[in-house]
Amino acid sequence: MYSKIFTSLILVSLFILMYSLAYSQSTAELVRKAENYYNNENYKDAKRNAQMAIEANPNLIEAHKFFVDSSKFLKELDKCLTYYMDKCNKIWFWDKNKPSWLYGLGLAYIANGQSKEAEEAFNSALKLAPKSRLADDIQKVAGKNKLSISFPATSLNQDIQRYSIIGGLLLVLIIFYFVYKIYEERKTGERQVAQIKKDRRVNFFGKKRY
């Protein structure tokens, strides 16, 4: 029985590995096609292949560049900007692909001559992924285009985790305080009741009542 389970696990692992390799090769092939089409000034097909690569894996930096540059030559930067803004608006900050979409948006803003907006997009991406290959490329692009960017010491997710821990500790302390207050009030009430009962057993002259 255990040998069958073990064999099944091995087969599943091999299938996942083979699928991952095929998936990586297919996205890499799309980027290569986009590059070839771009170098041959076939910007329509370059853009199409680059977009398919981005949709499959948003972390492909070169695919974003071919997509944006091809859009520029096709005079479709408005569509390009709308595409990236829609992507950025639809996913939350904790999504691992959010920095990549912000990176692409920054490239689109640069291509459209919007330096300030590009800085905002790049800084937002850096806040989510300050230590990554993406951050290194943003630094190069920003330096080339004389953009003002900042590298935070910690990512937004790390800041949220830290403040969540602090908030959790404060919540525990607050709960403990109120529980302690309720306990003290209850004990005080019990003492008062006991004192009243004691007082009722003694008459005006201090003698016990029977």
Q: Based on the fold, state whether residues 42 and 86 are members of the same structural domain.
A: yes
Q: Is residue 165 part of a domain?
A: no
Helix (H, G, I), strand (E, B) or coil at 208: strand
Asked whether residue 53 is domain-assigned, the answer is yes
Based on the fold, state whether residues 25 and 115 are members of the same structural domain: yes
**pLDDT at residue 208 in the model:** 53
Rounded Cα–Cα distance for residues 154 and 159 (Å): 7
Positive or negative, the CA dihedral 127, 128, 133, 138 is: negative
Token readout for 184 is: 């003290």
Considering the domain boundaries, does residue 195 fall inside one? yes
- Asked whether residue 47 falls in the same domain as residue 133, the answer is yes
Contact 108, 84 (CB under 8 A): yes
Indicate the number of domains in the chain. Answer: 2
145 and 176 fall within a common domain: no
| 17: its two tokens | 């590995």
Q: What is the pLDDT of residue 92?
A: 83
Q: For the chain of 210 residues, list the mean pLDDT of each consecutive stretch of 10.
A: 51 42 67 97 97 95 97 97 96 88 97 96 92 90 91 53 57 67 72 65 52
185 and 156 part of one domain: no
In a domain, 95, yes or no: yes
Examine the domain organization and report whether 89 and 180 are in the same domain. Answer: no
Q: Are residues 202 and 108 in the same domain?
A: no
- Segments forming the whole domain that contains residue 201: 170-210
Query: What are the angstrom distances between the C-alpha of 100 and each of 27, 92, 107, 121?
Result: 16, 13, 11, 10
pLDDT at 106: 97
> Minimal CA–CA distance to 83: which of 92, 75, 94, 71?
71
Supply the pLDDT for residue 178: 66
